[in-house]
Amino acid sequence: MIDVRALAEAEFRDSVDLFRRALLRRPPTDEEWARRRGMLEPGRVLGAFDGGELVGTARAASNRLAVPGGRVPAGAVTAVGVRADHTRRGVLRALVRAQFEDVRQRGEPVAMLHATEAVIYERFGYGVATRHRRVELERARAVFRDDAPRGGRVRVLTREAADLLLPEVYERCAPDRPGRIERARPWWSGTWGFLGEDVLVAVHTGADGVDDGFAVYEPKHGERGTALEVHDLTGADATAVAQLWRFLLGVDLVDRVVAHERPLDEPLEWWLADRRQCRVTEVADDLWVRLVDVLAALRARSYGAADPVVVEVRDAVLPDNAGCYRIGPDGVERSSAAPQLGLDVAALAALYLGDQPVSTLVAAGRVEVRDPAAVAAADRLFGTAVTPWCGTGF
Ligand SMILES: CC(C)(COP(=O)(O)OP(=O)(O)OC[C@H]1O[C@@H](n2cnc3c(N)ncnc32)[C@H](O)[C@@H]1OP(=O)(O)O)[C@@H](O)C(=O)NCCC(=O)NCCS
C-alpha cells in the first residue's frame, strides 16, 4: 500500500537525494543544496511511502503559463522519481493522482512538465504542447546577410552582474509568447547552480539604451575543436536575438556554435547568406501540458475567428473533465449538442498552445471527425500567429 503526502521541509533533502539517485546521479553537496533548496515550495513536495519508507517523490512549483491571449496559473511539475527497487508498482501513478488533486485545489487549471522519456506521461493526460530544435553552425561559414536585423550593442558580463540583471531582462523578452513561463528568483539561483564555472553571459542593449536580450553560453573543447554551447538565448525582438547570434558567431577561436532548445520559428536560416549552414540536428518535445481543469484551461485562452465547434473530450484519469465543449471566439461552454470532433485530453494539450493544427491530429488519427466542416473551423480557432515555445527548463 502506497501512501502519498506533502513532505515537511525537514524531509526535502531526502526527496532531492531520492530523485537524483533515480536519475542515476549523485545527491547534491551541501553547497549545491544551499543554492537549490529555495526551488522547493513548501506544501508542493510530495513523498510516496511504502511501510513508512520514502520510495518516490514528485514536486511542483507555482507558475503561470502564457497562452494565446492571456496567462493561466500552472503547476510546474518536476523532480519525479521512484526508488529503483520500487518501480513499476504504481508509485508514480499514486503521486500523479495526488498531484492533480493538489493542482486543482490551488486553482491551477494546468500542470506542465519536461519529460525525461516520451513514453511516461501521455497515459496521465499530458500532451506535447511546445517543441524546440537544436541547431549547429560552423562559425567560419555561417555569415550573416546584410539585410538581417542589426542594431544596438552586445557586452559580456561577469556571472555576478548577470545574476542581478538577467531576471529583469527576461521580463522584457516576449512575455506573451504562448508557452513562455515565469522565472522566479529561486529559479535563477537554482539554475546558476546547475551551470558550470565556465559559463559566460552576453547582454544586448537596444538602440534605446534598454537591455533587451541575453545569451548564456559555455565554451566546450573537444576532438572537433572548440564549440560554444548556448544554454539560453532570448530577446525582446528580432534585432536583439539576431545581434546576439552575430556576437556568438563572431567569437574568436570558436569552430562551432551549438544551441539547444531553440524555438522552431527562430529565423536563423533566413539571416544567413547560406541557409544550409544552420543545421537543425534535432526537433524534440519541449513542454508537456495537462489540462487538469479542461473548462477553465480552455477559457483561459482566446480563439481565432471561425464558427464555434463542439468537441467531445475523453479523460480516463480525471473523468469529470469528460464531455462536450462548445469552443468559439466568444468563449467556451459545456455543451449538450452533438459533438463534431472527438479527442483525448492529451491530444487536446497538443492543440492548446497552437503547436499542432487540428488537421494534423486528424491525419494522425488522434482526432475523430464526425462533421468534416468542423476541421477547418477548428484549425482557425486553435491556430496562433506565433509558434509556441517554452525555453525554460525546470
Ligand atoms: C519513470 C518513473 C518515475 C516511473 O515510476 P513507476 O512508479 O515505475 O511508474 P508506475 O508503476 O506508477 O507506472 C505507471 C505506468 O507507467 C508505465 N511506465 C512508467 N515508467 C515507464 C517508462 N520509463 N517507460 C515506459 N512505461 C513506463 C508503467 O508501465 C505503468 O503502465 P500501466 O499504467 O499501463 O500499468 C520511475 O521509473 C523513475 O523514477 N525513473 C527514473 C527517473 C525518471 O525518469 N524520472 C522521470 C522524470 S520526468
Say whether 15 sits in a helix, a strand or coil. Answer: helix
Q: Which one is catalytic: 121, 144, 217, 325? A: 121
Catalytic residue check, 49: no
CATH top class, domain 2-108: alpha beta
Residue pLDDT, tens place only, 122-142? 999 999 999 999 999 999 999
Active-site residue, selected from the candidate residues 12, 214, 217, 394: 394
Task: Spell out which residues line ligand 1, taking CB within 6 angstroms.
Answer: 22-23, 80-82, 87-93, 115-117, 119-120, 123
Question: What CATH superfamily classification does 132-285 receive?
Answer: Gcn5-related N-acetyltransferase (GNAT) (3.40.630.30)
What distance in Å separates the CA atoms of residue 293 and residue 71, rounded to the nearest whole number?
15
Ligand 1 mutation pick, 77, 92, 96, max ligand atoms within 8 A of CB: 92
Q: Residue 124: what are its φ and ψ, rounded to 5°?
A: -95, 5
CB distance 290 to 125 below 8 Å: yes
Neighbours of 51 (CB within 10 A): 8
pLDDT computed for residue 287 by the predictor: 98
Tell me the CB-side half-sphere exposure of residue 343, using CA atoms within 13 A: 30
Give the pLDDT of residue 321.
Answer: 98
Please tell me whether 199 is known to bind a ligand. Answer: no
For the domain spanning 293-382, the CATH number is 3.30.1050.10
* pLDDT attached to residue 45: 98
Domains 132-285 and 293-382 share a fold: no
The whole-number pLDDT of residue 193 equals 67
- Residue from 19, 88, 121 to probe ligand 1 pocket by mutation (most atoms less than 8 Å from CB): 88
> Do the annotations mark residue 51 as ligand-binding?
no
Per-residue pLDDT at 191: 80
What's the 92 CA to ligand 1 centre distance in angstroms? 6
Distance of CA 205 to the CA centre of its chain: 26
What's the 246 CA to ligand 1 centre distance in angstroms?
Answer: 43
- Nearest residue CA, atom 41 of ligand 1? 22
For the CA atoms of 313, 345, 59, 94, the dihedral, rounded to the nearest 10 degrees, stands at 80
Contact between 204 and 213 (Cβ < 8 Å) = yes
The dihedral region occupied by 125, where left means phi > 0, alpha psi between -120 and 50, and beta the remainder, is left
- As a whole number of angstroms, the distance between CA 311 and CA 15 comes to 40
Contact 249, 257 (CB under 8 A): yes
Question: Which protein residue has the closest C-alpha to ligand 1 atom 29?
Answer: 88
Positions of the chain with pLDDT lower than 70, given as ranges? 193
Domain ranges within the chain, ordered by starting residue:
2-108, 132-285, 293-382
295 annotated as ligand-binding? no
CA 250 – ligand 1 centroid, Å = 44
Q: How many residues does the chain have?
A: 394
User: Alpha helices of 39-180 — where are they, by DSSP H?
Assistant: 91-105, 159-172
Other CB atoms within 10 Å distance of the CB of residue 355: 26
Q: Are 11 and 52 in contact (CB under 8 A)?
A: no
Residue nearest to atom 4 of ligand 1 (CA): 92
C-alpha cell at 317: 484519469
Query: Which H or E run contains 128?
Result: strand 127-128
C-alpha 99 – ligand 1 centre gap (Å): 15
Alpha carbons within 13 A on the beta-carbon side of 108: 23
- Residue 394: active-site member: yes
